[in-house]
């Protein structure tokens, strides 16, 4: 009796093992780029495509459904032999005719976006399921909107101080902006940011008063977007020694001008 029970138990285990080995629905690769940069030039769009690669047995494909989610919200559903369906905010923004494969169980697994915008940033989940099994994978996509303005410069204030500034205009998401002087990052530069209404694009300015404005130096500005490889860099020389020389000649010039005027005024008397 006990022997028989043991036998049944063992057979059960083997069956379970076989069942698991046979239920081969598996996501092998999730193709979600970590970042995607929107082109501001019309007609120069590199397509944004999210792909979900999976292995599935035709014999185990009963009840197959593929879903894509943006954060926790379902945005796409496809059942073989039916047309894919797009939900909510993504309606009209996914190319329903797009297909990477003619295979019955893979035909509409990928998402091709039409005119991606900044708020498509987020976690994308591909979920595949059959009656036997559910598999899912998630990855983060950061949409980048490149700046319309990136400038580095300096300005003499009326009180005689020289202010170095770096501006980045209309960029998304919020970048990190650093000023460097002779390759050293300025630790106490003053940063101001403005967020545009509706678009949420950022305008950032970083300013720094030169402690010694009579010295020659190399000014540099660096912009990065954390978690992506987006990077801008520009540099310019600052000729402080020449600046002082110019100021000196200007003063001399002003002096002679005054003296001449004074001399002329004196001759009137």
Ligand X SMILES: *[C@@H]1O[C@H](CO)[C@@H](O)[C@H](O)[C@H]1NC(C)=O
Among 30, 170, 215, 217, binds ligand X (CB under 6 A): 170
| CB neighbours of residue 169 within 10 Å | 16
- Does the protein bind ligand X through residue 136 (CB under 6 A)? no
Indicate the residue among 93 and 107 with the shorter CB distance to ligand X: 93
Among 7, 15, 24, 89, binds ligand X (CB under 6 A): 89
- Does the protein bind ligand X through residue 95 (CB under 6 A)? no
Among 10, 11, 161, 256, binds ligand X (CB under 6 A): 161
Among 26, 103, 149, 193, binds ligand X (CB under 6 A): 149
- For residue 38, the minimal CB distance to ligand X (Å) is 13
Compose the 11-50 pattern: x for residues touching ligand X by CB under 6 A, - for all others: ----------------------------------------
Indicate the residue among 56 and 75 with the shorter CB distance to ligand X: 75
Q: How many residues bind ligand X (CB under 6 A)?
A: 18
Burial of 56 (0-12, 13-18, 19+ CB in 10 A): buried
d(CA 236, CA 163): 14
Tokens of 164: 């170095």
Indicate the residue among 101 and 199 with the shorter CB distance to ligand X: 199
- Does the protein bind ligand X through residue 194 (CB under 6 A)? yes
d(CA 56, CA 52): 12
Burial of 108 (0-12, 13-18, 19+ CB in 10 A): buried
Closest by CA to 37, choosing from 120, 93, 157, is 120
Indicate the residue among 80 and 122 with the shorter CB distance to ligand X: 122
Among 29, 34, 101, 119, binds ligand X (CB under 6 A): 119
- Does the protein bind ligand X through residue 193 (CB under 6 A)? no
d(CA 40, CA 149): 12
- Considering only the stretches 17-25, 78-86, 116-124, 181-189, report the one whose residues sit in contact with ligand X under the rule CB under 6 A: 116-124
d(CA 191, CA 219): 17
Indicate the residue among 106 and 173 with the shorter CB distance to ligand X: 173
Closest by CA to 166, choosing from 182, 150, 155, is 150
- SS3 of 122-171: EEEEEEEECCCCEEEEEEEEEEEECCCEEEEEEEECCCCCEEEEEEEEEE
What is the binding site for ligand X (CB under 6 A)? 71, 89, 117, 119, 122-123, 140, 148-149, 157, 159, 161, 169-170, 194, 196, 203, 209
């Amino acid at each position: 009796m006990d022997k028989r029970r043991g036998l049944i138990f063992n057979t059960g285990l083997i069956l379970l093992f076989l069942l698991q080995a046979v239920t081969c629905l598996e996501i092998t690769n999730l193709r979600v780029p970590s970042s995607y940069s929107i082109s501001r030039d019309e007609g120069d769009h590199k397509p944004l495509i999210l792909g979900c690669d999976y292995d599935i047995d035709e014999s185990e494909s009963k009840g197959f459904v593929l879903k894509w989610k943006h954060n926790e919200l379902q945005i796409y559903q496809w059942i073989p032999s039916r047309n894919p369906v797009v939900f909510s905010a993504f309606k009209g923004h996914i190319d329903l005719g797009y297909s990477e494969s003619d295979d019955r169980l893979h035909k509409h697994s990928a998402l091709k976006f039409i005119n991606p915008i900044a708020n498509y940033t987020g976690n994308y989940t591909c979920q595949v399921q059959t009656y036997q099994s559910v598999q899912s994978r998630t990855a983060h996509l950061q949409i980048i909107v490149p700046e319309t303005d990136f400038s580095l410069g300096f300005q003499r204030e009326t009180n005689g101080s020289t202010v170095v500034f770096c501006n980045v205009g209309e960029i998304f998401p919020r970048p990190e902006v650093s000023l460097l002087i002779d390759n050293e990052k300025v630790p106490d530069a003053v940063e101001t940011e403005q967020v545009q209404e509706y678009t949420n694009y950022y305008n950032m300015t970083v300013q720094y008063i030169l402690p010694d404005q009579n010295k020659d130096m190399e000014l540099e500005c660096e912009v990065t977007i954390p978690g992506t490889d987006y990077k801008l860099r520009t540099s310019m020389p600052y000729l402080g020694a020449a600046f002082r020389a110019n100021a000196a000649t200007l003063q001399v010039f002003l002096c002679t001008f005054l003296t001449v005027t004074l001399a002329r005024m004196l001759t009137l008397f």
